[in-house]
Structure 1
Amino acid sequence: MLSGTAPSTQLLRRVNAGAMLKAMRGAGVVTGTELMAMTGLSRATVISICDELVRLGWLQELENQRGAGDYIKGRPARRFVFDDAAASVLGIDIGANKITTIVADMSGTPLAQVTMPFRTYNVSAAERADVLDKIAADALSKAGVSADSVLAVSVGVAAPVSREGEVLTVQEFWKSFDVRRIVSERHGWHVLLENDANLAALAERWQGTAQGVDHLVVMLAGDRLGSGILESGRLLHGHVGGFGELGFLNNVEGVGSTYGIAYDAAEAGREVLAEQTGTALLELCGGNPDALTAEMVFQAAAEGDAAAQEALAGVALRMAKVVGAISTLANPELVVIAGGVAASAEVLLPGIAKHLPDFTFTPPRLATSTLGEGIVSLGAIRHALDYVEEHALDLSPSSLPKRAS
């Protein structure tokens, strides 16, 4: 019995410390009594963990004030505040042709965001790592923090990722670019790896339109489709990390691929161009259908062009089949379309909603994300903060440089 007691006690203490940090983030100055109410923990546990978190540099204890009694017999309340500047975290999104990095403090407040073009093919792993170094250094400089202040880095990739943080893919790009190992070796940072759509789901529930929604699907829907799925507020990974992968759409009639809204809108626009000449699409693309983009199709449709509206009606029907298939499997309350295409995709929602009952008995609510193209990096910040909270008793921010004022 005793052999299992110490590990169990330590695990419980870690869980309680994480719960207290989560409760204190953004709460301002709190007393022990208030922390008891916020966490459900006993006074002895709250004070003991607060003392340890103060020692480690996570909390600051303020001078005693007499007044609202935390203790009996007139003893002044002990007051604590979470130190937002205790350390930093990085969130990195490695996309098909660019990297976006966000630096945030311990409250999750972004301090700086940097985006840089990035060629993923025909570039050596060392060159890719050099680009990543430059972006991270630029972001840290703009944030006014040092590399030594970084406690955790989370990286989002467009590939399935195992529970152990390994990329599950045969793509040569990820075989040659072990981003977790390279970044860790170069900087000494603890590096987490996660699927980009999963991180988008974390971001959306944290700060987006899905706040408070426990049963959620977030779809990155640019050139390709990817989904992150939350069930009862918990991100689902599946047996080896492939939950939410959408390869099965190749076999769904009327969908046939994992191409996303941006790709589909451009292709649909080219199809109507081949059949109609009296359309604004022809002028927008300079008479060259190959130059037509999704943005041009959405612009023409917004200006009342019938051909563009016809093209987008087809895109809405296809997306209804996509959402219907996912909803039949996962039964979410809400499906959010996210990524760079989200702002334009708002116009598709009525058409998708109209067709949804034809493809699922459990049609969800629909929304588009307002978090923009930084959604994956923002989700990576949430992912890194979750790691920090879980391991707060193993980390010592008190020994790290503070943010420049």
Structure 2
Amino acid sequence: MSEQIYVGVDLGGTAIKVGICDAEGKLMHTYEGPTEVPLGPETVINNIEKYVRHIVEESPYDWEQVAGIGTGVAGFTNVKEGIVILAPNVGFKDVPIRSILEERLGKPIKIDNDANVAALGEAWSGAGAGIDHCVCYTLGTGVGGGIIIGGKIVQGFAGLAGELGHMSVIPDLEAIQCGCGQMGCLETVSSATGIIRMAQDAVDRGDRTSLSLVEKLTAKDVIDAAKAGDEVAARIVSRAAFYLGKSMAAIAVTLNPERFIIGGGVSKAGEFLFEQIRETFAKLAPEPVKQGVTIVSAELGNDAGMIGAAGLFLRS
């Protein structure tokens, strides 16, 4: 019998990335094409079909070897029914993508949200390889998350488990309203957006900081300034790290994962950020649940979504 392969689709607002993986999670071929969101959902779905067929055709594999096609979408998904409930970045609302793609491609289709598939990718063949219990954070514009227990994605009854950015961890007197409508969410301080907001607030207050010389602040500007010894920037990064560590301590007593994996743009701050997260976690997590727990950087970068989407057939 010929080797089975799995295709993973990372559906983004700008580009659709498609990858072929083997049964061990090794990414063997990739292809990327424009999403073309302004042309409407039908065009986006047409592009998914086109790119999937293209990558298999240009690979050494036959179409008959494709055992399944997984798709990760940035938005709310009904995993059981295969419906994208709402994905503003790609213009989807109540789109039954699984049934549409199954009809067009003639292959089994699975879907999930982008944070879950990225977590699954890391757990399958990235920083969590060989570990059955891990929790993944993605620190970007927001704070995404994915929970892997027993090697499988934890979905929750409505498929909304793992919304780590919306853990309420900030005391009321310090809390601001999150984009989700609630107060004190982790995302308000530990995302790139949160870091920029805190930096801009400091500049507007007239705090003595080199950040006041930057025309358009980015999270990288803040992190670089902190590393260079800017006290205001250092306090901001420390605050972001503290609440990440605090959230991990809460997760540790709830799920007892062996490893926390952190990816996304903010994670590029490296050990400067990670050491502070580990310090807070060590202080706040009870002794028994922190034993043997590691906090590490993600390894797969932009490939995690493709690999995890392909892995929906073997690891979910």
What TM bracket, shorter-length normalisation? 0.7 to 0.9
Q: Give the Cα separation in 1 of the matches to 2:305 and 2:118.
A: 5
Q: Give the Cα separation in 1 of the matches to 2:81 and 2:265.
A: 26
> Does 2:258 correspond to 1:342?
no
Q: Which residue does the alignment assign to 1:323?
A: 248
Q: Give the Cα separation in 2 of the matches to 1:154 and 1:200.
A: 12
Q: Give the Cα separation in 1 of the matches to 2:22 and 2:129.
A: 21
Correspondence 1:272-287 to 2 at 5 A? 272-276=202-206, 279-283=209-213, 285=214, 287=215
Q: Which residue does the alignment assign to 1:129?
A: 45
SS at match of 1:384: coil
SS at match of 2:93: helix
Q: Which residue does the alignment assign to 2:80?
A: 164
> Does 2:197 correspond to 1:267?
yes
What's the offset of the Cα at 1:129? Answer: 1.8
* Letter aligned with residue 328 of structure 1: V
Is the CA contact (8 Å cut-off) linking 2:84 and 2:97 kept in structure 1?
no
Q: Which residue does the alignment assign to 2:234?
A: 309
Pair 1:256–1:357, CA change in 2 (3 A): same
> Does 2:120 correspond to 1:202?
yes
Q: Which residue does the alignment assign to 1:71?
A: none
Q: Which residue does the alignment assign to 1:94?
A: 11
Picking from 68, 78, 86, the partner of 1:152 is 68
Considering Cα pairs closer than 8 Å and 6+ residues apart, tell me whether 1 or 2 has the greater RCO: 2
Q: Which residue does the alignment assign to 1:231?
A: 149
Q: Give the Cα separation in 2 of the matches to 1:271 and 1:346.
A: 26
Pair 1:330–1:168, CA change in 2 (3 A): farther
Range 374-383 or range 231-240, more displaced: 231-240
* Letter aligned with residue 48 of structure 2: L
Is the CA contact (8 Å cut-off) linking 1:266 and 1:294 kept in structure 2?
yes
Q: Which residue does the alignment assign to 1:366?
A: 295
**TM (normalized to structure 1)?**
0.63
Is the CA contact (8 Å cut-off) linking 1:111 and 1:143 kept in structure 2?
no
Pair 1:327–1:97, CA change in 2 (3 A): farther
> Does 2:223 correspond to 1:298?
yes
**TM (normalized to structure 2)?**
0.78
More helix by share: 1
Is the CA contact (8 Å cut-off) linking 1:89 and 1:104 kept in structure 2?
yes
Q: Which residue does the alignment assign to 2:179?
A: none
Q: Which residue does the alignment assign to 1:396?
A: none
Q: Give the Cα separation in 1 of the matches to 2:68 and 2:227.
A: 43
* Letter aligned with residue 47 of structure 2: V
Is the CA contact (8 Å cut-off) linking 2:9 and 2:19 kept in structure 1?
yes
Residue ranges of structure 2 left out of the alignment (5+ in a row): 176-183
Q: Which residue does the alignment assign to 1:249?
A: 167
SS at match of 2:295: strand
Picking from 305, 309, 312, the partner of 1:380 is 309
Pair 1:277–1:112, CA change in 2 (3 A): farther
Aligned residues, how many? 298
Is the CA contact (8 Å cut-off) linking 1:90 and 1:103 kept in structure 2?
yes
Correspondence 1:50-199 to 2 at 5 A? 57-58=1-2, 86-106=3-23, 108-116=25-33, 118=35, 123-137=39-53, 139-140=55-56, 143-145=59-61, 147=63, 149-162=65-78, 164-167=80-83, 169=85, 173-199=91-117
Is the CA contact (8 Å cut-off) linking 2:78 and 2:85 kept in structure 1?
no
Is the CA contact (8 Å cut-off) linking 1:198 and 1:228 kept in structure 2?
yes
Q: Give the Cα separation in 2 of the matches to 1:138 and 1:168.
A: 24
Q: Give the Cα separation in 2 of the matches to 1:305 and 1:247.
A: 27
Q: Give the Cα separation in 2 of the matches to 1:236 and 1:298.
A: 32
Picking from 277, 285, 296, the partner of 1:352 is 277
Pair 1:181–1:167, CA change in 2 (3 A): closer
SS at match of 1:313: helix
Pair 1:169–1:129, CA change in 2 (3 A): closer
What's the offset of the Cα at 1:193? Answer: 0.9
Q: Give the Cα separation in 2 of the matches to 1:91 and 1:300.
A: 38
Residue ranges of structure 1 left out of the alignment (5+ in a row): 1-56, 59-85, 388-405
Question: Which has the higher Rg, Structure 1 or Structure 2?
Answer: 1
1:147-205 deviations in whole A, cap 9, x for unaligned?
A: 55433111112345455253474566442543323322332222111233332332222
Is the CA contact (8 Å cut-off) linking 1:125 and 1:176 kept in structure 2?
no
* Letter aligned with residue 296 of structure 1: D
Pair 1:301–1:136, CA change in 2 (3 A): farther
Q: Give the Cα separation in 1 of the matches to 2:266 and 2:13.
A: 15
Pair 1:258–1:223, CA change in 2 (3 A): same
Pair 1:268–1:360, CA change in 2 (3 A): same
- What percentage of aligned pairs have identical amino acids? 25
